[in-house]
């Protein structure tokens, strides 16, 4: 892998970060470890289990750190991600998106035979029937639509019918409910976010009550995210949290008041180091990072260091970006390294094969992103 070939010799060498070939995906290992420890302590104090979402980092090295800090395992968004992390030795995986279609069902059945503690989410009777017909021994959670119509059954009655179908199928076992309020995660104001989640949690309670009434009490109630974890813990209905972005805290989440007191509980740890590769204009320089180096759907990446305060980034196509200092201030020189925060962590990570873990200005390790590109 390119990152290992190019940079193995820099590990542990004082100040070696500046010698990275750019663009390079960089993790501030100190900040990452503090984020992992903080969320672990929060979950412990709240009496909640953690199964952090690995769709954010796609990496066994980070999953292992989360598990070492007390997590039960990790969530994966896709079957391919779960295969990659299982291969790398991670147990306790919950696949949070429905696995549908004959090729995928066969792979899931095979994975169940080698992945310890594997679980998967389902939201449709046809999918449950296909899994039952595969003959695999599988533990399933029923996914509830929180109202965004992305995935999940549409009503308490549909949840009950699916749980009953699972319970009746030899090989399949009903473990609980999944409820991910995706659209509520990024409501910037804490009170408004809390109000939205309280309403949705009342709905979740009604589903739990119906299932319990029919003898199918859900043991696992999983969901929540970085944006709502404090509210979810306070409301006390979930017993497992799927928080993902807290490890990196991208721009989207950094704009949210996560705990209701204006304080930021987590630190930005995911960075991209880029380099000035063209400097022929007095008002801007060009860095070597564009659409192929940053996720683009969350706006431009914030400048963290290496450029004058107030400098802005503007996308300039597939491979490049403009770095624009404030009026009258000189831009960085040719060859200088500029550090950016990821605009949106998950799809930014998915562009790279490895993390460069740094402490200060020294490269301390390189971590493979085993799940990169494993969208199928």
CA angle, 321 then 297 then 94, to 5°: 125
User: What is the distance between the alpha carbons of residues 75 and 56, in angstroms, rounded to a whole number?
Assistant: 10
Q: Considering the complex, what minimum distance in angstroms separates the CB of residue 207 from a copy of itself?
A: 14
List 34, 38, 124, 359, residue binding a copy of itself (CB under 8 A): 124
Q: Considering the complex, what minimum distance in angstroms separates the CB of residue 252 from a copy of itself?
A: 12
User: What is the distance between the alpha carbons of residues 330 and 324, in angstroms, rounded to a whole number?
Assistant: 9
Q: Considering the complex, what minimum distance in angstroms separates the CB of residue 66 from a copy of itself?
A: 19
List 24, 39, 119, 138, residue binding a copy of itself (CB under 8 A): 24
User: What is the distance between the alpha carbons of residues 361 and 101, in angstroms, rounded to a whole number?
Assistant: 47
List 291, 304, 312, 359, residue binding a copy of itself (CB under 8 A): 291
Q: Considering the complex, what minimum distance in angstroms separates the CB of residue 235 from a copy of itself?
A: 23
Q: Considering the complex, what minimum distance in angstroms separates the CB of residue 2 from a copy of itself?
A: 6
Q: Considering the complex, what minimum distance in angstroms separates the CB of residue 47 from a copy of itself?
A: 29
Cis amide leading into 179 (omega within 30)? no
Euclidean distance between the first and the last CA atom of the chain, given in angstroms as a whole number: 21
Strand ranges across the sheet with 220-223: 49-50, 240-241, 220-223, 172-179, 138-144, 119-122, 93-95, 74-76
Footprint (CB under 8 A) of a copy of itself, residues 345-374: 346-347, 350-353, 372-374
List 35, 59, 134, 151, residue binding a copy of itself (CB under 8 A): 151
Q: How many residues bind a copy of itself (CB under 8 A)?
A: 73
User: What is the distance between the alpha carbons of residues 342 and 346, in angstroms, rounded to a whole number?
Assistant: 9
Query: Is residue 128 within the footprint of a copy of itself (CB under 8 A)?
Result: no
Give the nearer residue to a copy of itself in terms of CB position, either 47 or 149.
149
Q: Considering the complex, what minimum distance in angstroms separates the CB of residue 63 from a copy of itself?
A: 17
Q: Considering the complex, what minimum distance in angstroms separates the CB of residue 194 from a copy of itself?
A: 22
Q: Considering the complex, what minimum distance in angstroms separates the CB of residue 180 from a copy of itself?
A: 10
User: What is the distance between the alpha carbons of residues 174 and 149, in angstroms, rounded to a whole number?
Assistant: 23
Dihedral-angle region of residue 343 (phi above 0 means left; psi in -120 to 50 means alpha; beta otherwise): alpha
Give the nearer residue to a copy of itself in terms of CB position, either 1 or 37.
1
Query: Is residue 45 within the footprint of a copy of itself (CB under 8 A)?
Result: no
- 342 contacts: CB under 8 Å, gap ≥ 6: 248, 250, 251, 270, 271, 272, 294, 295, 301, 348, 349
Question: Per the structure block, which two tokens stand in for 345?
Answer: 């962590």
Interface segment toward a copy of itself; rule CB under 8 A; list 44-52, 187-195, 246-254, 343-351: 343-351
Q: Considering the complex, what minimum distance in angstroms separates the CB of residue 41 from a copy of itself?
A: 27
Contact string 298-337 vs a copy of itself (x = CB under 8 A): -----------------xxxxxx-x-----------xx--
Return the SS3 of 365: strand
Query: Is residue 161 within the footprint of a copy of itself (CB under 8 A)?
Result: no
Determine contact, residues 79/108, Cβ cutoff 8 Å.
yes
List 6, 169, 254, 304, residue binding a copy of itself (CB under 8 A): 6
Report CA 147 to chain centroid distance, whole Å. 21
Give the nearer residue to a copy of itself in terms of CB position, either 136 or 284.
284
Footprint (CB under 8 A) of a copy of itself, residues 59-78: 77-78
Footprint (CB under 8 A) of a copy of itself, residues 218-277: 275-277
List 8, 13, 19, 330, residue binding a copy of itself (CB under 8 A): 19
Query: Is residue 284 within the footprint of a copy of itself (CB under 8 A)?
Result: yes
- 285 contacts: CB under 8 Å, gap ≥ 6: 276, 278, 279, 322, 323, 331, 332, 333, 334
User: What is the distance between the alpha carbons of residues 116 and 263, in angstroms, rounded to a whole number?
Assistant: 38
């Amino acid at each position: 892998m390119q990152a290992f070939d190019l940079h193995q010799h820099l590990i542990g060498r004082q100040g070696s970060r500046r010698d990275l070939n750019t663009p390079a995906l960089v993790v501030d290992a100190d900040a990452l470890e503090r984020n992992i420890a903080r969320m672990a302590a929060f979950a412990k104090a709240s009496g909640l289990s953690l199964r952090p979402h690995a769709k954010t980092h796609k990496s066994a090295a980070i999953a292992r750190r989360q598990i070492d800090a007390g997590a039960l395992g990790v969530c994966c968004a896709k079957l391919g991600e779960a295969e990659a992390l299982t291969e790398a030795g991670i147990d306790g995986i919950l696949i949070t998106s429905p696995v549908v279609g004959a090729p995928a069902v066969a792979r899931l059945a095979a994975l169940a035979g080698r992945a310890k503690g594997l679980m998967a989410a389902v939201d449709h009777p046809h999918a449950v029937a296909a899994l039952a017909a595969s003959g695999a021994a599988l533990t399933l959670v029923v996914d509830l639509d929180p109202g965004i119509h992305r995935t999940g059954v549409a009503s308490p009655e549909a949840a009950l019918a699916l749980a009953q179908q699972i319970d009746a199928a030899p090989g399949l076992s009903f473990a609980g409910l999944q409820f991910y309020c995706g659209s509520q995660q990024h409501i910037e104001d804490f009170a408004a976010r809390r109000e939205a989640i309280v309403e949705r949690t009342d709905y979740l309670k009604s589903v739990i009550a119906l299932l319990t009434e029919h003898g199918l009490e859900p043991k696992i109630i999983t969901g929540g995210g970085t944006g709502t974890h404090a509210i979810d813990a306070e409301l006390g209905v979930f017993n497992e949290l799927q928080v993902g972005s807290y490890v990196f805290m991208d721009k989207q989440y950094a704009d949210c008041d996560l705990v209701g007191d204006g304080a930021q509980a987590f630190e930005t740890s995911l960075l991209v180091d880029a380099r000035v590769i063209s400097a022929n204009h007095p008002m801007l320089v060009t860095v070597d990072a564009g659409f192929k180096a940053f996720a683009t759907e969350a706006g431009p990446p914030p400048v963290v260091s290496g450029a004058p305060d107030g400098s802005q980034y503007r996308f300039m196509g597939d491979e490049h970006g403009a770095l624009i200092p404030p009026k009258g201030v000189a831009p960085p020189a040719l060859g200088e390294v500029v550090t950016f925060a990821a605009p949106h962590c998950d799809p930014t990570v998915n562009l790279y094969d490895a993390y460069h873990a740094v402490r200060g200005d020294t490269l301390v390790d390189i971590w493979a992103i085993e799940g990169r590109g494993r969208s199928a």
